[in-house]
Amino acid sequence: MTTAQKTEAIELLKEKFSQYSNFYITNTESLSVAQVSKLRRVCFEKNVEMKVAKNTLIKKAMQSLNDEKYAGIYDALHGVTALMFSDSPKEPAVIISSFRSEEKNEKPLLKAAFIGEDIFMGNDQLDNLKNIKTKNELIGEVIGLLQSPARRVIAALLHNAEKQGETASAE
């Protein structure tokens, strides 16, 4: 790889790190070419960008953006690294889990995830990441909670109106 190619790769990675506030670092080392292609296809369908890059280039891109923000991620940069960029904090975790189930394989391994400003290290964090609520899910829950008291009041009023109607027709 020439110096110009390395510089171009670093710039591309910097763009991705700036564009997305969520990304996952995975190890796809023992996957076959067919499995990697399938994983890329699933990522594409779910609007998750998957990029394979050299660890040194990833680290240089992160350091040039904000050394302290990504400092906790550097320990995960070893072996074969595939980055999964997403607007959704949990979609890559869902993809990894379902891919593992379908392939009956423990790969790809989750090395780390950067969600907003939080860092999740290690493969054991995958279940926690799958259960993160998205912005739309949280909004839905809040709306449901706000609607609940109003529904109870309406139900009580309707119930009282029905009772008054029954007593009036009985007389």
Q: What six digits make up the tokens of 65? A: 């953006």
**Residue 80 has which token pair?**
């074969």
Task: Tell me what pLDDT residue 107 has.
Answer: 86
C-alpha 143/C-alpha 137 separation (Å) is: 10
**Angle, in degrees to the nearest 10, between helices 55-66 and 3-19:** 60
Question: Does 70 share its domain with 127?
Answer: yes
Range of the domain at 63: 3-131
In total, how many domains does the chain have?
A: 2
Write down the pTM of the prediction.
Answer: 0.76
Same domain? 28 vs 98? yes
Q: For residue 171, what are the CA distances in angstroms to 162, 165, 167, 168?
A: 15, 10, 6, 5
49, containing H or E segment: strand 49-52
pLDDT in tens, 108-140: 999 999 998 889 999 888 888 887 777 776 677
